[in-house]
Structure 1
């Protein structure tokens, strides 16, 4: 069940957040980010409901065939993937901080005080979290023992 949930999380995350960030990039290009907060709320709700519904359905359909996984290797895979995802997130945040610091050194204005700059910064931070979570799910699947 854990593997199935990870696959569901990975696929739903890629589809929902992929669609959200495509809309975000289109909004940045067109200069209209006014409805982005509603797209974010919708993406969050759709991701949570889709994961819950798909996981519940799969659990119900396969409850008789479920087998207990060996917790040692499975837990080890989850811990390793979680550590890699955390380090990736820390690295991405540090890289973002470096870019912000260097932009001030070179006199570049990222205009984070304006509403558009704040929306872009918020979405950049959201993208860092989404990437780290997708990496965690994919790496956990890759490291889990095959049966």
Structure 2
């Protein structure tokens, strides 16, 4: 590579990084529930009913922050605030929904500490550093 090519390459890389940061800021939300994701109930108030640390699937999202969760084992349906839920991470190779950040709402495949977007405009793009709180197993 010649000096000019290197400079153009680094300017392009910097431009792309700035676009990523902008997309991250625009798509970062205080709520992150999506229909069809697997959640773990962390509500101590629901412990006496046997739901503490049990998994369920979000069937409906109410007011962005409350999920109607169908419990996997019992099939009971509970309304739970997102503050009392935790994301579930699948095994490597499993499908996830990106629930917050730059690629919020897209489906991806877990490749370890990174994910690869499955479909859409960004299909095939590998996101190298993603927080586990920002992804969740798809049902």
- TM (norm. structure 2) is 0.27
More helix by share: 1
More strand by share: 2
